[in-house]
């Protein structure tokens, strides 16, 4: 079996550095298959072949994508100390790679997950759409329609959060209450007036045209009870965990792993029967429209706070070797289906 993995890479001399989250699967995979690492930045050189690094032999080569059993995107955008792999940095190259691989998909190349699935969940607008079209219990959300609307949200009696529609790791998330109109205008202009003005038909431009702001009431469940993150791989629960607040410098903490102003504790978690049923039901709903193998459902206080279908992290190093091996077998199963 020949597996393509889209991975961020940092080259230091002869050494190639991948995200810590990706390394366990690379070690697992080379014992069972031929593994080819594809750097999304290399899409610009594709012309009948794609550049790849053969992990098994530690050799660079060019190959026809159709020689692969599939291309897996699940480890792209994982945190690295050596490189900014946040969504806003990786998305342009990811879109470029999607566009170049399109012709090979029509000839049978399998992409796991599909580009349509991943890009549909880049913008948090899906929270509003799915809450309107299903009875899934989502955290209450509303899109910011104007600066006046943002100012009105900041004056509500309940605490309100606002976050960019396209972001991750809580970048750009702020508590609205107490902000001046000047501060609110600056935040609005940054995310709601940054849409591409020139005629640009690239996939990246179309995706970023969806940028904006989404508002949600602040829920203390994040800080008091934690956020449950349920992993799903091929319709089966995998490597689920819970994030709880360890420490925060703010009176109203924005609980997110990786924020400098908070310390978040992470531990393996066994979802309840109800949580499992809800996560798998969401997986089925998504699959009805967008084929998906790998996703994560995040819950706070029993309500859905996020569906991660682009590059769900699993905090691999928090789990025992048996659980991690089962998880990796589920990844490989995606290439066989």
| pLDDT (tens digit per residue) in 39-71 | 999 999 999 999 999 999 999 999 999 999 999
**Residue whose structure tokens are 């390394």:** 23
Q: Tell me the whole-structure pTM to 2 decimals.
A: 0.89
| Range(s) of the chain covered by CATH 3.30.470.20 | 114-139+219-337
Handedness of CA 233, 236, 239, 240 (dihedral sign): positive
Confidence class for position 337, pLDDT limits 50, 70, 90: low
pLDDT at 304 over 90: yes
* pLDDT per residue as tens digits for the range 21-37: 899 999 999 999 999 99
> For the stretch 43-73, what's the b/e string if a residue is b when 16 or more beta carbons lie within 10 angstroms of its beta carbon?
beebeeebbbbbbeeeeeeebebeebbbbbb
Q: Residue 100: its pLDDT value, please? A: 93
How far CA 132 is from CA of 137, 254, 291, 297, in Å, comes to 10, 26, 21, 18
| Range(s) of the chain covered by CATH 3.40.50 | 2-112
CATH number for 114-139+219-337 (one of 3.40.50.460, 3.30.470.20, 3.20.20.70, 3.30.460.20): it is 3.30.470.20
Q: Residue 247: its pLDDT value, please? A: 61
| Range(s) of the chain covered by CATH 3.30.1490 | 140-218
CB atoms < 10 A from the CB of 246, how many?
Answer: 11
Strand partners, 42: none
pLDDT at 197 over 50: no
* Nearest one of 82, 113, 66, 60 to 10, comparing CA atoms: 82
Average of pLDDT values for 2-16?
A: 90
Q: Is the model more confident about 80 or about 70?
A: 70
Q: Collapsing DSSP states into helix, strand and coil, what is residue 119?
A: helix
Residues in the chain, how many?
A: 337
| 2-112 fold | Rossmann fold (3.40.50)
Q: Residue 257: its pLDDT value, please? A: 47
pLDDT at 255 over 70: no
- For helices 181-192 and 147-154, the axis angle rounded to 10 degrees is 130
CATH number of 140-218: 3.30.1490
Q: Which residues, including other chains, have CB under 8 Å from residue 242's CB and lie 6 or more apart?
A: 226, 227, 228, 229, 266, 267, 269
CB atoms < 10 A from the CB of 260, how many?
Answer: 6
CB atoms < 10 A from the CB of 293, how many?
Answer: 25
C-alpha of 285 from chain center: 18
Would you state the structure tokens that stand for residue 186, as one six-digit string? 């600056």
What are phi and psi for residue 331, nearest 5 degrees? -65, -50
d(CA 187, CA 235): 39
d(CA 229, CA 312): 10
CB atoms < 10 A from the CB of 124, how many?
Answer: 21
How far CA 118 is from CA of 99, 287, 310, in Å, comes to 14, 12, 5
* Nearest one of 296, 276, 274, 292 to 284, comparing CA atoms: 292
Confidence class for position 80, pLDDT limits 50, 70, 90: confident
Longest dimension (CA), the chain: 61
């Amino acid at each position: 079996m020949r597996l393509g993995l889209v991975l961020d890479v940092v080259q230091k001399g002869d050494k190639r550095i991948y995200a810590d989250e990706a390394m366990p699967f690379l070690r697992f995979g080379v014992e069972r298959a031929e593994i080819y690492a594809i750097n999304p930045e290399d899409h610009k050189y594709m012309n009948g072949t794609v550049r790849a690094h053969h992990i098994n032999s530690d050799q660079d080569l060019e190959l026809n994508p159709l020689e692969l059993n599939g291309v897996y995107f699940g480890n792209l955008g994982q945190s690295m100390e050596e490189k900014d792999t946040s969504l806003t940095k990786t998305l342009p190259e990811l879109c470029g790679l999607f566009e170049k691989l399109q012709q090979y998909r029509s000839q049978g190349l399998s992409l796991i997950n599909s580009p349509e699935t991943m890009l549909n969940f880049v913008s948090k607008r899906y929270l509003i759409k799915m809450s309107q079209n299903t009875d899934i219990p989502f955290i209450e959300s509303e899109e910011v329609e104007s600066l006046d609307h943002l100012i009105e949200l900041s004056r509500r009696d309940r605490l309100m959060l606002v976050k960019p529609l396209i972001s991750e790791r809580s970048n750009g998330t702020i508590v609205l209450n107490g902000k001046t109109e000047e501060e609110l205008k600056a935040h609005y202009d940054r995310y709601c007036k940054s849409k591409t003005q020139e005629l640009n038909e690239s996939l990246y431009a179309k995706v970023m045209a969806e940028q904006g702001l989404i508002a949600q009431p602040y829920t203390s469940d994040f800080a008091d009870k934690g956020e449950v993150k349920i992993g799903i791989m091929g319709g089966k629960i995998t490597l689920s965990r819970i994030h709880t607040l360890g420490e925060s410098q703010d009176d109203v903490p924005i609980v997110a792993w990786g924020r400098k102003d908070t310390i978040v504790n992470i531990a393996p978690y066994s979802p309840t029967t109800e949580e499992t049923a809800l996560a798998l039901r969401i997986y089925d709903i998504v699959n009805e429209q967008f084929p998906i193998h790998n996703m994560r459902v995040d819950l706070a206080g029993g309500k859905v706070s996020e569906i991660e279908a682009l590059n769900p992290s699993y905090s691999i190093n928090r789990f025992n070797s048996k659980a991690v091996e089962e998880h990796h077998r589920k990844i490989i199963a995606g290439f066989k289906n």
